[in-house]
Amino acid sequence: MTLELNSRIPAGPLPEKWDRHRFEMKLVNPANKRKHTIIVVGSGLAGAAAAASFSELGYNVRCYCYQDSPRRAHSIAAQGGINAAKNYQNDGDSVRRLFYDTIKGGDFRSREANTWRLAQVSVNIIDQCVAQGVPFAREYGGLLANRSFGGAQVSRTFYARGQTGQQLLLGAYQALEKEIARGGVKMYPRAEMLDLIVVNGRARGIVVRDELTGTVEPHFADTVVLCTGGYSNVFYLSTNAKGCNATAIWRAYKRGAAFANPCYTQIHPTCIPVAGDYQSKLTLMSESLRNDGRVWVPKRREDVGKKPNDIPEADRDYYLERKYPSFGNLSPRDIASRAAKEACDDGRGVGPGGRGVYLDFADAIKRLGVEKIRERYGNLFEMYERITDENPYQVPMRIYPAPHYTMGGLWVDYNLMSNVPGLHVGGEANFSDHGANRLGASALMQGLSDGYFILPATVSDYLGSNKLEPVSADAPEVKAAVADVAERTRKLLSIQGTRTVASFHRELGHIMWEYCGMARSAEGLKKALELIPKLREEFWRDVRIPGAGTELNQTLEHAGRVADFLELGELMCRDALHREESCGGHFRVEHQTADGEALRDDEHFAYVAAWQYAGPSAPPILNKEPLEFESVKLSTRSYK
């Protein structure tokens, strides 16, 4: 049985949709807000902002995170900046231009209405964060400074050196802590959501495991909001924190929520290259570095072994500047990543294994001076030197693409509600705004847009529009969800096999990177769809988890997340195989132009692919939400 995917996009002209929709939404009066409880899972930018905003409105809020503090959410690792259409530089920016850049950057695979709203709300985010005290960089006269990011020809990115995510999260965190102290939010750290409770077709709570004691309990609310981030750790090696996982959204998927565009994953072009077989994660080097750094490789294969400073200018190939002169080193991430792979596949990659390209600041240092570069990027240069023992002020950085962000996620309508009534999804956990490729500095924009401005309005509309009866712990749906979690934990602990959880995760990551990474083919994806089920079967037969379930057991936590990745990875490959086109971060080698660019098929694939769980032994069901473009004309994306 297929789903009815009602996007609930409001009528009216694109610039008026959100304001008109907000006016038409149901409101909840202050006295009644105290009667409602909202569960927020995740305490990053989207989750902390949403939880604080709900509490400020007067709702009772319960917020859950698997970390020991909300401050450890992975949003803290974002470096380069946050976009907003303020046009402070008077360089031609506007809400419409940010909207168009985002639609084009996503290769015309996102909803117009959602993307316009994101651009529209962006201007409010900066005011909110400045009011919180976020220390954005400023020009000499005191005005907020901007810099450029990939896929744009204007400077619209606000930043705090290379620590923008940290500073924005501290702003959201202090708003959250204020509400915790007031009593409006009850915080549950070290609490992992392991299932969604659906009663009478509506999301009414979650099943949570206390990571310190192993206690499994149901928690109830009138609505559930998931802000749990993306799933790049399916690749094992990624720029995400080791704990980042897909368990919350995956368990929601298995309770009926559609999973949209799972194959849309972003490979970030500027990361420190892999150093060895047993490396546990990768480190991002901010895209902001490409404002002043120039990307190049040797023109000749015989020069790759030379020291970079020994290669004369005439023998260097600044391939992004050569191939994409209009955008140069600030080409979008998917294009810059494929170009780096192309150069390395041609035998001109540098560093160990030939998997690296240079990011060179010599020209910028000569033009601006060392102190100005240190002022802009000092913490990033220091981090690079600590990891590689190379001084980027003296020699070029070595970088290579790595998994970073996922544009796919749970399907949501215009109100950010999934097809399961009462289940709202914010930030990277949903598929909403970025299509097949996210522009740099837009993740922070979406997380705060959803948390501060959109979810407070749309969740209130849901609560004001529905009469919700109390849920009993004795309800059969609740008992079944709790029993499922307990049985899954018991089964994992009882296997007592011979292989570590990490070894299975690493092997899965190798399969995903090899066959569902930067370049994909029907042959490779079919191979992955043979290998992943075999690996999953071996996992459930031979994984070894020491310790017990009644204590802090991080191996058990990792095992549950890897078990979900082993299922999600298969869905990603299935989605990539069905999408017989190239668009954004999804690059099928069979579908490319004569000069190696992505070749879309708008006639057959201009839709959102929303996959529906059909049971453990049945293939998922594909549902399609057609994408309609009224304001933007579908065209071949070009950055040349």
> How far are the Cα atoms of 2, 246, 491 from residue 620, in angstroms, in the given order?
10, 18, 24
What one-character-per-residue DSSP string does 282-351 give? --B--GGGGGT-EEEEESSGGGTTS-GGGS-GGGEE-HHHHH-TTTGGG--HHHHHHHHHHHIIIII--S
Q: What percent of the chain has pLDDT over 90?
A: 98
Task: Please give the average per-residue pLDDT across 210-225, as a whole number.
Answer: 98
In this predicted model, what pLDDT tens digit does every residue of 38-79 receive, in sequence order? 999 999 999 999 999 999 999 999 999 999 999 999 999 999
Strand partners, 271: 284, 400
Place of tokens 């059969």: 476
Task: Please give the average per-residue pLDDT across 454-467, as a whole number.
Answer: 98
What one-character-per-residue DSSP string does 191-259 give? EEEEEEEEETTEEEEEEEEETTT--EEEEE-SEEEE-----GGGGSSSSS-TT---HHHHHHHTTT--E
- Round the average pLDDT of the chain to a whole number and report it: 97
Q: Answer yes or no: is pLDDT of 277 > 90.
A: no
Was domain 269-404 assigned CATH 3.40.50.10440?
no
The secondary structure element, H or E, covering residue 178 is helix 164-182
Task: Please give the average per-residue pLDDT across 245-260, as a whole number.
Answer: 98
pTM: 0.97
Residue 472 pLDDT: 95
Task: Please give the average per-residue pLDDT across 80-91, as a whole number.
Answer: 97
Give φ, ψ of 259 to 5 degrees: -105, 120
Cβ-proximal residues to 637 (8 Å cutoff; 6+ apart), any chain: 104, 107, 108, 597, 598, 600
Residue 4 pLDDT: 86
Q: Answer yes or no: is pLDDT of 2 > 80.
A: no
Task: Please give the average per-residue pLDDT across 375-390, as a whole number.
Answer: 95
Q: Answer yes or no: is pLDDT of 261 > 80.
A: yes
Q: What fold is seen in the domain 476-611?
A: Methane Monooxygenase Hydroxylase; Chain G, domain 1 (1.20.58)
Task: Please give the average per-residue pLDDT across 505-523, as a whole number.
Answer: 98
Q: What percent of the chain has pLDDT over 70?
A: 100
Please report, for the chain, the start and end positions of each structural domain, with discontinuous segments joined by +. 269-404, 476-611
Task: Please give the average per-residue pLDDT across 196-207, as a whole number.
Answer: 98
User: What is the rounded distance in angstroms from the CA atom of residue 263 to the CA atom of residue 266?
Assistant: 9
In this predicted model, what pLDDT tens digit does every residue of 103-119 receive, in sequence order? 999 999 999 999 999 99
- For residues 71, 75, 80, 86, the Cα torsion angle rounded to the nearest 10 degrees is -100
Task: Please give the average per-residue pLDDT across 559-587, as a whole number.
Answer: 98
What one-character-per-residue DSSP string does 384-406 give? HHHHHS--TTTS-EEEEEEEEEE
In this predicted model, what pLDDT tens digit does every residue of 347-356 receive, in sequence order? 999 999 999 9
Q: Answer yes or no: is pLDDT of 1 > 70.
A: no
Residue 416 pLDDT: 98
Closest CA to 66 of 165, 176, 193: 193
Task: Please give the average per-residue pLDDT across 411-435, as a whole number.
Answer: 98
Q: Answer yes or no: is pLDDT of 507 > 90.
A: yes
Closest CA to 240 of 266, 218, 217, 215: 266
Residue 278 pLDDT: 86
End-to-end CA distance of the chain: 45
